[in-house]
Structure 1
């Protein structure tokens, strides 16, 4: 979907180009963090850290892997999360 008027696109582009590379990078990081918080807000409350990480991965990359690959990756995510919580 592209419902942004061309003049608004150009205004935003010129504003972004006035920022330093570091400012643009930090803006991108901030937007990614905001998107992550929106996704996490859609999850049921009370999930374990492993469940949350699995759901995030599936939401972001669920269409990028076949079932076998997804299963291996999710197992790895769960193992790393549990290891992190133990140490």
Structure 2
């Protein structure tokens, strides 16, 4: 048995737009439009997900956190606090 989601093509297109138009962590600008994010394209794509009652997929590193100097091991202190 498979699960069918309504609006699949529209959701796929909205996901592609969110991936392209992510706001950068470094300066807050849309990666594609170069305007202060979220841009109009991102807002329209987010509305598709809102109306579909689904969440978009997150792509690690899409907002380029390295522009702010973040590193993968910056959260190592967390494991010592949680006992992991």
TM-score (normalised: structure 2) = 0.31
Higher relative contact order (CA 8 A, sep 6+): 2
Bigger CA radius of gyration? 1
TM-score (normalised: structure 1) = 0.31
More helix by share: 1
